[in-house]
């Protein structure tokens, strides 16, 4: 059996169905090109008959994407199939994916037909699709709950009609891995022409088993997995592309299969989809969550410093993340503090580890997470508040309207001197930040920015967290207020004051180096 597993991405079809607002054509193109860079074999770009906008999007993606096969979805209806063919005809090669329900509950209650009628519709749909392309995929919707005799019958007839890929969906995420793998096994054992088609699987995550079921199917002989970036999709979502890709890479010793996925593109693609779809990735999400390569336990951190494979079965670099993150929290041990100080350029003689660690624990209990600049401030006994007031926002005014640039005016106190600044921006936060930048001598870049709701209702507290980069070092800032713009301003001021503390640390460090040691 071939050891290549085809990756079929349906982020732009099944994934988009779960969004509160449709993506624009430009946004869909961005995602399609990112998925193409990722090395996906098939991109299901949409459901062309569903709307003129979806038709246009599929057509534009088919024009643009060259290294992946672009696919359109259709019901087992001629008009749907023709819409797919018309939208995709601009591509050199394309796939038509047609489907119909096969489970008793769907056939009887949704379609209100006999199984023989559904079988006839499926055969006709596949034959009609073959008039436009040799690459036809047929799906048995709700296959996981379809009687196995009926499923085998439908698969055999669809292959005979000309389908080159047969998809077995666990549409409602009902089956357990051993059940789903058993279904695939039975198809291989009972369908006489099964060798004439690729067997695909499309698993949903209603019970959290989409990835497990997909891997079980591969072990049983399936050679296409249908999945989405970040696992987005109907209800609880789909099989997660990044998870199955890394399972097959990490456990190649057991699974003995390969994919065309460019694994180092995973993190970048995940972030793009999360941003454009406005669907944040949960921190503990496997592979791409912010905590996926983050270690807080002192025991884990000690192991990581000695050998990364003690607690990491894959490297962050392998999925396009720059490095492992060792969080400095009250759970961190002395060895991590010593390691972090050494990475900042300090020698053992520059600080007393026991004293620094005790001060660190007190600060960690107050702040939750401690950053590099905090550690340095502790070394030189600079209190958290000592440099806090170098920058302050005395007052600010921000205005924004649809279709226009936002404008901001800010009265900024810097080192005791107050000065007014104004600027425009692409949005209210950008305008405010542009105004503040005018009063700051240091050139910095905002590299990460997040807003979170810390309360309920329209007057709940908003928390802004950001990271700014100055002289190749990152500085964290946080702001909390009922107004999002005010919280954002506070966060930037917090990070700028962290830079000022680091400057004070540098001065004290230089003075210490110049002072003769007795």
Q: How many residues make up the chain in this entry?
A: 518
Predicted local confidence at residue 454, as pLDDT:
63
Residue identified by tokens 């999945």 is 227
List pLDDT tens digits, range 194-229.
999 999 999 999 999 999 999 999 999 999 999 999
pLDDT above 70 for 41? yes
Q: How confident is the model at residue 455 (pLDDT cuts 50, 70, 90)?
A: low
List pLDDT tens digits, range 427-437.
899 999 999 99
Q: Which residues of 255-270 are buried (b: 16+ CB within 10 A; e: fewer)?
A: bebebebebebbbbbb
Q: How confident is the model at residue 494 (pLDDT cuts 50, 70, 90)?
A: confident
List pLDDT tens digits, range 74-97.
999 999 999 999 999 999 999 999
* Surface-to-core class of residue 483, CB atoms within 10 Å of its CB (0-12 exposed, 13-18 middle, 19+ buried): middle
* Surface-to-core class of residue 22, CB atoms within 10 Å of its CB (0-12 exposed, 13-18 middle, 19+ buried): middle
Predicted local confidence at residue 323, as pLDDT:
66
What are the structure tokens assigned to 188, written together? 């291989």
Rounded mean pLDDT of 166-172? 98
* Surface-to-core class of residue 254, CB atoms within 10 Å of its CB (0-12 exposed, 13-18 middle, 19+ buried): exposed
Identify the weakest region by mean pLDDT among 189-193, 295-299, 399-403, 414-418: 295-299
State the Cα angle at 61 between 60 and 66, rounded to 5°. Answer: 120
Rounded mean pLDDT of 405-409? 89
Predicted local confidence at residue 456, as pLDDT:
53
CA 1 to chain centre: 32
Predicted local confidence at residue 388, as pLDDT:
52
pLDDT above 90 for 307? no
Q: Which of 2-6, 21-25, 199-203, 482-486 has the highest mean pLDDT?
A: 199-203
What are the structure tokens assigned to 432, written together? 């405010």
Domains for the chain: give ranges and CATH numbers. Answer: 6-277 (3.20.20.70), 294-370 (no CATH), 391-508 (3.30.160.270)
Q: How confident is the model at residue 293 (pLDDT cuts 50, 70, 90)?
A: confident
pLDDT above 70 for 386? no
Residue of higher predicted confidence among 264 and 304:
264
Cβ-defined contacts of 340-347 (< 8 Å, 24+): 340/372, 340/375, 341/375, 341/379, 344/372, 344/375, 344/376, 346/379
Predicted local confidence at residue 402, as pLDDT:
67
List pLDDT tens digits, range 372-385.
777 777 776 654 44
Residue identified by tokens 């806090």 is 388
d(CA 486, CA 463): 10
pLDDT above 80 for 141? yes
Residue 323, number of CB atoms within 10 A of its CB: 9
Q: For 139-240, where are the alpha helices, taking DSSP H only?
A: 148-161, 177-190, 210-220
pLDDT above 90 for 515? no
The pTM assigned to this predicted structure is: 0.73
What are the structure tokens assigned to 256, written together? 């003995």
Predicted local confidence at residue 291, as pLDDT:
77
Identify the weakest region by mean pLDDT among 5-9, 69-73, 266-270: 266-270
**C-alpha closest to that of 198 among 334, 93, 313, 95:** 95
Query: In percent, how much of the chain has pLDDT > 70?
Result: 91
Residue of higher predicted confidence among 183 and 362:
183
Residue of higher predicted confidence among 297 and 157:
157
């Amino acid at each position: 059996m071939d050891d290549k597993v085809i990756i079929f991405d349906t982020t732009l079809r099944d994934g988009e169905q779960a969004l509160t607002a449709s993506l624009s054509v430009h946004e869909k193109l961005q995602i399609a090109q990112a998925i193409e860079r990722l090395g996906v074999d098939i991109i299901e770009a949409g459901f062309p008959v569903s709307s003129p906008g979806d038709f246009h999007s599929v057509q534009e993606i088919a024009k643009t994407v060259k290294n992946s096969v672009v696919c359109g979805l259709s019901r087992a209806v001629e008009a749907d199939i023709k819409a797919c063919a018309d939208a995709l005809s601009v591509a050199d090669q394309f796939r038509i994916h047609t489907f119909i329900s096969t489970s008793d509950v769907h056939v009887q209650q949704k379609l209100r037909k006999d199984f023989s009628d559904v079988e006839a519709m499926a055969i006709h749909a596949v034959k009609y699709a073959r008039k436009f392309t040799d690459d036809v995929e047929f799906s048995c919707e709700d296959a996981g709950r379809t009687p196995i005799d009926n499923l085998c019958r439908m698969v055999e007839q669809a292959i005979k009609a000309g389908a080159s890929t047969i998809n077995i969906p666990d549409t409602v995420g009902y089956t357990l891995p051993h059940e789903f793998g058993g279904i695939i096994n039975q198809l291989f054992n009972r369908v006489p022409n099964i060798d004439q088609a690729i067997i695909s699987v499309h698993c949903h995550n209603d019970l959290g088993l989409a990835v497990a079921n997909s891997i079980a199917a591969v072990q049983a002989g399936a050679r296409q997995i249908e999945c989405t970036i970040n696992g987005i999709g109907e209800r609880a979502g789909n099989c997660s592309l990044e998870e199955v890709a890394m399972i097959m890479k990490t456990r190649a010793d057991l699974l003995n299969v390969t994919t065309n996925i460019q694994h180092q593109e995973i993190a970048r693609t995940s972030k793009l989809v999360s941003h454009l779809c406005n669907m944040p990735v949960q921190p503990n999400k496997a592979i791409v969550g912010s905590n996926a390569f983050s270690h807080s336990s002192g025991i884990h951190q000690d192991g990581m410093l000695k050998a990364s494979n003690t607690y990491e079965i894959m490297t962050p670099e392998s999925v396009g993340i720059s490095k492992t993150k060792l969080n400095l929290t009250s759970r961190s041990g002395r060895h991590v503090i010593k390691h972090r100080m050494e990475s900042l350029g300090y020698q053992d003689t520059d600080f007393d580890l026991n004293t620094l660690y005790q001060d660190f624990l007190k600060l960690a209990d107050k702040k939750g997470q401690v950053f590099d600049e905090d550690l340095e401030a502790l070394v030189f006994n600079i209190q958290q508040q000592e440099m806090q007031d170098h920058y302050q926002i005395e007052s600010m005014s921000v205005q924004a309207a649809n279709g226009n640039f936002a404008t901001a005016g800010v009265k900024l106190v810097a080192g005791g001197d107050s000065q007014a600044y104004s600027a425009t921006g692409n949005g209210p936060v950008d305008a405010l930040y542009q105004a503040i930048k005018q009063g700051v001598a240091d050139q910095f870049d905002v590299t990460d920015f997040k807003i979170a709701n810390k309360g309920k209702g329209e007057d709940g507290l908003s928390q802004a967290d950001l990271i700014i980069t100055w002289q190749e070092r990152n500085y964290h800032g946080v702001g909390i207020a009922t107004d999002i713009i005010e919280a954002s301003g506070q966060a930037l001021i917090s990070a700028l004051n962290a830079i000022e503390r680091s400057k004070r640390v540098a001065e004290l460090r230089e003075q210490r180096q110049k002072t003769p040691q007795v």
